[in-house]
Amino acid sequence: MKTKLLLKGSFFIAVMVVASLSVGLILQHPLFTHANDSSDKKDYKAALVYMRNEVQQLNQHAVGKQIHKNTRLDSAQMNERDKVVTYQLTLLDVTGQDIDRISDARKKTIMQREKQSLLSKNKDDIHLRPLFLEGWTMEYIQKTNDDEVISAITITGADMAQDRVEDAPGSLL
C-alpha cells in the first residue's frame, strides 16, 4: 500500500513538472519577434501585441486539446483591464483522491518547486518582461480530471524582480 502511495506521489510530481514544462513551451512560441526599441512604451505595446497573439493562437489551436502527456489546456485568457493572463490545465489521469493521499507538507514542496519552475520560464521569455514591469501577473491553474483544483500559482512582477534561482535545492529539473 505504501509503495502504491509513493508511486502516486511520484506520479503527481512528474505530472506537475510536465505541466509546467508544457506551459513554458507554449509561452516561448515565437509568434511575434520584436526589434530592440529604446522606448519602454514601445516595448510594452509590443509585449501586449505578442501576448494577445499568443492567447489567440492558443484558443484557436490548443484549448481543449492534450498539449502534453496527460495534460489538457482548458483555457487561456487575457484580461487587459486587470492585467492578468490565466492558463487553466487539467491533468487527465489524476483524480482528487490521488491528491488527497499526498501529505500537505509534500504538496507544499511540490507547489514551491512548480512556482520556481514557472518563474524561471517566465524570466527566460524576453517578451514577458515589459508586461511584468507594468504590473501584469500570470496565473496557472491546474485541476484533476474530476475538476478539483490542485494548484493556483500566480507569478507577479515582484516575483520576477527576485534574484534568479538557476538550480533550486531539491529542484526536479
Q: Cα 148 vs. chain centroid, distance in angstroms?
A: 17
Q: Average pLDDT, stretch 152-164?
A: 88
Q: Where is pLDDT greater, at 141 or 39?
A: 141
* pLDDT of 162 strictly over 60: yes
Please report the pLDDT score of residue 160 as a whole number: 92
* pLDDT of 166 strictly over 50: no
Contact, 152 vs 139, CB < 8 A? yes
Domains and CATH numbers, the chain: 2-161 (3.30.300.250)
Query: DSSP code of 173?
Result: -
Kindly report, residue by residue over 86-140, the tens digit of the pLDDT.
999 999 999 999 999 999 999 999 999 999 999 999 999 999 999 999 999 999 9
Per-residue confidence at 38, pLDDT binned at 50, 70, 90? low
Q: Where is pLDDT greater, at 36 or 161?
A: 161
* pLDDT of 7 strictly over 70: no
Q: Average pLDDT, stretch 156-160?
A: 94
pTM (two decimals): 0.71
Kindly report, residue by residue over 44-93, the tens digit of the pLDDT.
999 999 999 999 999 999 999 999 889 999 999 999 999 999 999 999 99
* pLDDT of 150 strictly over 60: yes
List the one residue out of 85, 109, 79, 88 whose CA is nearest residue 170: 109
Instruction: Tell me how far apart the alpha carbons of residues 87 and 108 are, in angstroms, rounded to a whole number.
Output: 21
Q: How many CB atoms neighbour CB 98 within 10 A?
A: 21
* pLDDT of 163 strictly over 80: no
62 φ, ψ to 5°? -125, -25
List, in sequence order, every beta strand (DSSP E) within the chain: 66-68, 71-79, 84-91, 137-143, 149-155
b/e for 27-52, b at 16 or more Cβ within 10 A?
beeeeeeeeeeeeeeebbebbbebbe
Contact, 26 vs 62, CB < 8 A? yes
Kindly report, residue by residue over 10-30, the tens digit of the pLDDT.
455 544 544 454 445 454 544
Residues 6+ apart with CB under 8 A from 40: 130, 133
Residues 6+ apart with CB under 8 A from 14: none
